[in-house]
Amino acid sequence: MLVLVLPAGEDDMCFNSIGCDVCANACGRLGTAYMKPIKAEEMDFWVFGRKRNEYEPFGVKRFVYIGRSTNPATVSNAQDGGAVTEILRCAFHKGLIDGAAVAGPSDKLWLNPVPRVVTSADELTRTAKSWYTYCATPMALKEAVDRYGLRKLALVGVPCEISAYATALGSDTGFITAERGEKNVERQKRYLKQYVESVQLTIGLFCAGTFVFDGFIREYLYEKLGIKPEEVVKINIKGKLIIELKGGERMEAPLAEAKAYQRPQCGYCADFSAEHADISAGGIGLSGWTMLVIRSARGERIFKHAVESGYLEIKPVSEQGINLLKRFVYAQRKRAEKHYTRILHKK
């Protein structure tokens, strides 16, 4: 894992030039004067009880399969096979979770995702697709615990969001400085831990970066491609940008064009495959199937429930599929290293 130690008050990572460094203090991938950087191996131990070995280039794993829902309706509505939807559905039905923090469409515009709390298997259909503009999904944990009183939650998120959970899981909350007052510090520690302790399953989504909403949706899709946002029913990336519209029309565009609207912060992320999730999932190189990396004991338990109970159909992943995943993983680490090197050369 690449890390960068920032001196106190350094604002090079802050694109708004605020320079308050709160985000860097709380981030396991960075280090500041208040908190040392956390290596991937440390986070491995917190989540899995062991460190990755030399044969695990994309993080700790137990096994890798490709899977899809056995329900044709789920497959047709989902992003790539509906495997994540079915794992969550099984977890609900088995009583393993009583809620899930996910990204879902806003009430005003489907393409604009917001943190959502799902409280039953029947609600999963609405949130079954991928969203390519950023959504702070872990914020839904607060609503799930405080508003709904849920205590057995699944968290579905991109790698940075799963890493935030892993960091909080093992953190001693030392970044909450005593300068804020003893009572306030204790309150904040309880505040952080209660949400972490409510999570019973994490599902991480493969991610090479998300887009800026205004740039990608308004400037690119609407102004450049002439696509009305309200007409879009699905977006996918398979080496190119694929946009499905109401009425069955399908449009394609070069991925290189879309990347111009990617959030610049994503360039610093070295984690493509959500290395600290219980289960990691993504549709790279596949159509109608999802690659599933089972990493933890609880991930394996829920995965086996889903297969044995008939929610999931699975097949062994091909060597070609594993090599493709490795290629994406290595490429993202190399990209992050370039971004960090650029900052270090500025100093």
Q: What is the pLDDT of residues 169-208, one digit of tens each?
A: 876 666 565 565 677 767 666 666 788 889 999 999 999 9
Residue 310's Cα: distance from chain center in Å? 26
Q: Any idea which residue has 């044969």 for tokens?
A: 55
Q: What is the pLDDT of residues 200-244, one digit of tens each?
A: 999 999 999 999 988 999 999 999 999 998 899 889 998 899 999
Spell out the alpha helix ranges (H) of the chain.
22-26, 40-48, 72-77, 83-93, 139-146, 159-170, 182-197, 213, 255-258, 297-308, 319-346
What does the pLDDT read at residue 131? 83
Q: What is the pLDDT of residues 102-128, one digit of tens each?
A: 999 888 877 889 999 999 999 998 888
Confidence category of residue 9, pLDDT binned at 50, 70, 90:
very low
Fill in the DSSP letter of residue 211. Answer: B
One-character DSSP codes across 255-292: HHHHGGGB-GGGGG---SS-TTSSEEEE-TT-SS-EEE
Three-class secondary structure of residue 4 per DSSP: strand
The pLDDT of residue 10 is above 50: no
The pLDDT of residue 26 is above 70: no
What does the pLDDT read at residue 244? 92
Can you tell me the distance from the alpha carbon of 203 to that of 322, in angstroms, rounded to the nearest whole number? 19
The pLDDT of residue 139 is above 80: yes
> Helix count (H) and strand count (E) of the chain?
11, 13
Q: Percent of the chain having pLDDT more than 70?
A: 82
Q: What is the pLDDT of residues 291-329, one digit of tens each?
A: 999 999 999 999 999 999 999 999 999 999 999 999 999
Quote the mean pLDDT of the chain. 85
Q: What is the pLDDT of residues 34-78, one digit of tens each?
A: 455 567 778 898 899 999 998 999 999 999 999 999 999 898 888
Fill in the DSSP letter of residue 251. Answer: E
Three-class secondary structure of residue 312 per DSSP: strand
Three-class secondary structure of residue 18 per DSSP: coil
Cβ–Cβ < 8 Å for 312, 304: no
What does the pLDDT read at residue 39? 72
What does the pLDDT read at residue 34? 47
The pLDDT of residue 15 is above 50: no
Can you tell me the distance from the alpha carbon of 254 to that of 334, in angstroms, rounded to the nearest whole number? 22
Can you tell me the distance from the alpha carbon of 186 to that of 181, in angstroms, rounded to the nearest whole number? 9
Domain spans of the chain, in order of start: 4-210+263-346
One-character DSSP codes across 123-137: GGGGG-S---B---T
Give the pair of three-digit tokens for residue 139: 């914020």
Q: Percent of the chain having pLDDT more than 90?
A: 54
